[in-house]
Amino acid sequence: MSKHKHLAALPLGGVGIIGTNMMVYDCDGDLIVVDAGVSFPDESAPGTDVIVPDTRFLREHAKQIKAIFITHAHEDHIGAVGYLWDDFAGAPVFASPLSQMVIQGKLAELGIKPAKGQMRTVTTREQYVAGNFSVEYVPVSHSIPEAFALAIRTSYGTIVHTGDYKFDDVAPFGQITDEKRLAEIGAEGVLAVFGDSTNVLNPKETGSEGPVIAHLTKLVTETKGRIIFAAFASHFGRTFEIAKVAAKNGRKVAFLGRTINKFIQHSKQLGYWPKELNNWVIDAEEAAGLPPEKVFIFASGTQGEPGSSLTRLSQGADVRGLRIKSGDTVIMSSKMIPGNEKGILAVINGFALAGANIITELTDKNIHVSGHPGAPDVKRMY
């Protein structure tokens, strides 16, 4: 392959399925890898914890790998970095500050220490050279901050690798898709666009985060009893906004779940943590002793994951002193990811049996919006 002049794209995962995103680009024998994600198995793969891309090709061409470029910190884009670390053969890993922190945490858990200078933090409007490639990060809106499309320049022309994106003028932390820069890159001439969407079958535009925040604000303000709020931990921009509303209404806030607490730590280091919450966060044990109208609990586990705080609460378990009670309101600000219906419905049933008021996308379409583009948004990107 490397003897001939060529530019090639080789997806090692993520095409035709949700998760395990990994794309390899090959320019005259130099390789770059974009993302290294996992997916989570269903009952067809019992005993499997995670699924990673098939990287035999990388092992066979280890000497040609020039760099790894990470688009954003979702599990389906970075979850496999640690598991596949040796396959990257010491190549530098380019990622944003948040993605770096999440990756470094995963590597530390696996006892992996990157070589000095191997982890490279990116910023926008820079060209990162890796062999025959030069890569620029362009900000895009998504359901996690610091998501980027990549403009990958080669002697054959430019490839735009969109990563996950949407168009949203009021995205959390002001991370708006940089359409101006994308248009400039488009005007230079683009050879190919490799786009990513789990929503392409949706004939409508994906809505904005703004109306969802407004709707959740109203719900939290009007609810009388205790509130248990569940959302994807990585979508902490939404969670912080709603926690601020709760605090404004005199509620103390407790965060249950390992992942959300890690994101809170990262947020404090990176400046995403809202100062308005500083004196309002308490632990679960303290929340258990407060009157219901004074408490807002974030519970992880929107997909009915066994052992998650939300699932355990729905089963009537004692979660660090907290137990579901009649009169509690549970808000699940998330979508049902296909394949997880059984677990999620069991959670909903559990809360209903306990006499809780439960609000999900099944009864209220306005409590969640996707981070992926619908068909008209995909056209807009092109």
Residues that bind Zn ion (CB under 5 A): 74, 164
Decide whether 21 or 132 has the Cβ nearer to Zn ion.
21
Which of 102, 319 has the CB closer to Zn ion?
A: 102
Exposed e or buried b per residue across 145-156, where buried means at least 16 C-beta atoms within 10 angstroms of its C-beta = bbbbbbbbbbee
The least distance separating Zn ion from the CB of residue 142, rounded to whole angstroms, comes to: 6
As beta bridge partners, residue 283 has none
Whether the Cβ atoms of residue 239 and residue 231 lie closer than 8 Å to each other: yes
Nearer CB in complex with Zn ion: 26/209: 209
Q: How far is the CB of 76 from Zn ion (least distance, A)?
A: 6
CB of 146 to Zn ion, least distance (A): 11
**For Zn ion, which is the closer residue by CB, 132 or 234?**
234
Instruction: Kindly list the distances between the CA atom of residue 30 and the CA atoms of 14, 25, 58, 110, 154, in Å, as whole numbers in the listed order.
Output: 22, 8, 12, 29, 11
User: Closest CB to Zn ion among 74 and 266?
Assistant: 74
**Distance of closest approach, residue 235 Cβ to Zn ion, in angstroms:** 10
Q: From the CB of 265, what's the least distance to Zn ion, in Å?
A: 21
Could you write out the DSSP letters of every residue in 129-182?
EETTEEEEEEEEB-SSSSEEEEEEEETTEEEEEEEE-B--TT-GGG----HHHH
Provide the minimum distance between the beta carbon of 262 and Zn ion in the complex, in angstroms, as a whole number.
17
Residue 338's CB: how many other CB atoms inside 10 A? 9
CA 286 to chain centre: 30
* Distance of closest approach, residue 74 Cβ to Zn ion, in angstroms: 4
* Tokens read off for 347: 């959670």
Among residues 164 and 209, whose Cβ is nearest to Zn ion?
A: 164
Task: For 298-345, give the secondary structure using H, E and C.
Answer: EECCCCCCCCCHHHHHHCCCCECCECCCCCCEEEECCCCCCCCHHHHH
Contact between 284 and 318 under an 8 Å Cβ cutoff? The reply is no
Cβ-based nearer residue to Zn ion, 144 or 228: 144
